[in-house]
Amino acid sequence: MCNYLLRKQGGTPDAPAEVMFHTRSASSELIRHAGLSYFPLAFIARLPFAMMTVGVLTLVVAERGSVTLGGLNSAAAGIGTALAGPLLGAAADRLGQRRVLVPVGLINAALLAAFILVVQSAAPDLALLAMSVLIGASAPQIAPMSRTRLVAIITRKIRVSERERVLSSTMAYESAADETVFIVGPFLVGILATAIAPWLAIVGAAALTLVFVTRFALHPTGRLQPGTKNSRQQAPARELASAKLLTVVAGALGIGLFFGATLTSLTGFLAADGDGDRAGLLYGVMGIGSAALALGSAAFPARFSFRARWLTFATLMLAAALAYATARDELTIVIALAVLGCGIGPTLVSQYSLAAQLSPAGRSATTMTMLGSAVVVGQAVSSAVTGAVVDSLGATTAMTLPAVTAALIVAAGIAHATSKPKTADRELVPA
């Protein structure tokens, strides 16, 4: 993160040395106020959230032998996140992050550990679904909390003249980190499930939550969060329902739908040959181009607007998803997944950047939690639907579903671009 911020703030080759010096100083100031350990801590603390849905799916399929049931449990976790996620964000906006993250993290770690015992027992399927809902509801919302902390630092500590550039690169990094963990998380689940046992992935998620989420909650940056004394500065909650912002949430939902359809169909395809545990490993191929282009998106010219990036890279996703749908051998699937990754990263960066622009005053954590919850909900629901398609119609039919979800992402991008804007695309500035 440190090198990334400093590199991205260097300006154009023709930028005056004084501008470059001040911009680098501003980035260094952000890093100094956040603390050098903050960025790796915030990254690792996100992993349990990304591992949760895939880990539940993998464990249930392995122990109960049903892709459909595994998908339903993933969907149940997503429902829990949908119900509680935005509420946790609103609570953090009002009460501060520490009061929310510490108890939620401890509860979530305990539920993850208990889930392993319940799955391996003779407990009815309904009990599994109930626990999955609770796991999703208690999932710590690290990504939106991290964005809100960094925005607070930039707003309070960075010179006004440097805020736009520093915040732009910071948001690009944060979006890239989000997208990367949604690739790395399933990849870790695949490694642990293949090398040892599927239950170990859930144990790992519980341990990461207990240690790193708690450490993130107690990090000094948590003190920068607004408490009840600033609640009067919050915009009315109804502003969260603006059409422009809701199209971005719909786009994030489409990303989640894509993740779920791709992973579950891939699992079904490999499971036909007895290699279902390898799905997370192949799924991780998407992370290569995805992480590279997400991190590099801050270097795109300003005239290449966030809306245009969304449409461009979502269209690339659609083309690659069509190739994935017709693939019948592992090499072709890997190539398609690699190209898909090149589209996912910049699309997510664009969506989160647009959400930051459109976030009502004092509602940053709530807004970002809406997007994060939309991704998880989409992934969970799509996992359930795709799992049912795998069991009833076969994996090859299910492999067409990622293309359908990619088309929805393109449609949401078109709806956002054609809806009446409050303001034109601009550089990110604090609310």
Please give the full DSSP string across 57-73, using - where no structure is assigned: HHHHHHHH--HHHHHHH
What single-letter DSSP state applies at residue 239?
G
Write the CATH number of the domain with boundaries 26-227+237-418. 1.20.1250.20
Token pair of 133 as six digits: 């809902």
**Separation of alpha carbons 181 and 46, rounded Å:** 7
Token pair of 410 as six digits: 């393109």
**Separation of alpha carbons 410 and 402, rounded Å:** 12
**Separation of alpha carbons 231 and 223, rounded Å:** 16
Token pair of 302 as six digits: 């300003």
Token pair of 315 as six digits: 């269209």
Per-residue pLDDT tens listing for the chain (431 residues) = 544 444 444 444 344 333 333 445 556 777 777 788 898 999 999 888 878 877 888 888 888 877 778 878 877 887 888 788 778 877 877 777 888 899 999 999 999 999 999 998 888 989 999 999 999 899 888 888 888 888 778 777 777 767 666 766 777 778 778 767 877 787 788 788 777 888 888 888 899 999 999 999 888 887 765 433 444 466 666 667 677 888 999 999 999 899 889 888 888 888 776 666 677 677 778 877 777 777 777 677 778 888 899 999 999 999 999 999 998 888 898 899 989 988 988 898 888 878 877 777 667 777 877 887 788 778 778 877 888 888 888 888 999 999 999 999 999 999 998 887 554 444 443 33
Q: What is the pTM of this model?
A: 0.74
Among left, alpha and beta (phi > 0; psi -120 to 50; other), residue 428 is beta
> Which residue, among 374, 385, 375, has the nearest Cα to 72 in the 3D structure?
385
The position carrying tokens 């010096």 is 21
Distances (CA, A) of 182 to 116, 256, 259, 268, 278: 22, 10, 9, 20, 17
Domain ranges of the chain: 26-227+237-418
CA 295 to chain centre: 14
